[in-house]
Amino acid sequence: MGDTTAPCVSEAPYAVPTGVALLTDNGEFRAKFNRTDFLFDHGLAGHPLFELPALAELANRIPKFRDFVYWQNGRVNVNDKWDANPAPRLSLEETIHGIAHNDSLVILKHAEQDPLYGPVLQEILQRIYSFTSPAAQADIVLGESLIFLNSPGRKTAYHLDLESNFLLQIAGEKLVHVFDCADRSLTTDVELENHCGGNHNGAIYKPEREGDAHFYHLTPGHGVHFPSMGPHWVQNGEQLSISININFDLKSIHHRMKRIYRVNRLIRRLGLEPCAPGKSPMKDALKDKMWLGVSAVLNSVRTAVKGRDESMAYPAWRPAPVARVNGAQPV
Ligand SMILES: [Fe+2]
């Protein structure tokens, strides 16, 4: 007799690769994690779990909290905003059903908590975590997954993420354009202040810098890593594209740098020029503490006005400690 409290999901009639068949350490995760972009291979190319019928069922199961499911209808340009919706708005069901021809993007988040998808996505998260260096592992706070469905020929507009990204191509092709995460002449401190302040369109595309991008032609079975704050945009190929994005939140970014940029945004609004993160440890520490105080007050006010945000109580994947024996690298 099974667990009668578990959600009703279809039984997967196929084997999902595990262990090294799912993801192998190519030696670059340790040296390059969150420093620079690199390619890797995985074992989920064309897997039925990531085909449309199964993904449509997943979309039905995902809790409909704010930001758990996102979709955009109509073609966008590289410099468009996330809230652009240039075609008539379709329902999520209509969008997924017709994604092969309706010029849309669907993002399904937190599938790592789904009973059917959770085991494979959590194994990817843990394997990537175990491939990274001890310093990186100490910095990783939590991980999450996003599944992207893109209509043929569609672009994903230029943006950056604070999370450290691993993009795994499952079906179709993508040309991924990735820029240097540390280049402040490309992504200015003002852009990062805006992004950290909640503007997901904070990064501004600069066509004259296109030549500085690294290009990755992703086909099924291949993936690319790009660090937090590495701006990117994507040109999807001529077939439906399905990919998985594995993200990691980092203490150094989400618990520190983000707070400093938020305080700097306030300082700039007062007409002053703030000191960028990393230039003065003393000022950084002061701003970190300041934002902790400010955010405690803001959160109290928000909860009092709007009530508790249920999505904040949703489970998050957190890494299991990696055992090391005589310095051996775990897998
Ligand atoms: Fe992204």
pLDDT for 99 = 97
Q: What is the pLDDT of residues 281-291, one digit of tens each?
A: 999 999 999 98
Quick check: 248 and 112 in contact, CB under 8 A? Answer: no
Domain boundaries, the chain: 19-250, 256-304
pLDDT for 12 = 56
Ligand 1: distance of its center to the CA of 160 in Å? 6
Ligand 1: distance of its center to the CA of 127 in Å? 21
Ligand 1: distance of its center to the CA of 3 in Å? 37
Please give the Cα distance from 187 to 162 (Å, whole number).
13
Which amino acid belongs to residue 156? Answer: T
Q: Which residues of the chain have pLDDT under 50?
A: 1-7, 325-331
Ligand 1: distance of its center to the CA of 165 in Å? 7
pLDDT for 8 = 52
19-250: CATH topology: Jelly Rolls (2.60.120)
Ligand 1: distance of its center to the CA of 215 in Å? 15
What are the tokens at 241?
Answer: 């594209």
pLDDT for 10 = 54
Ligand 1: distance of its center to the CA of 328 in Å? 33
pLDDT for 311 = 75
Please give the Cα distance from 20 to 293 (Å, whole number).
45
pLDDT for 2 = 38
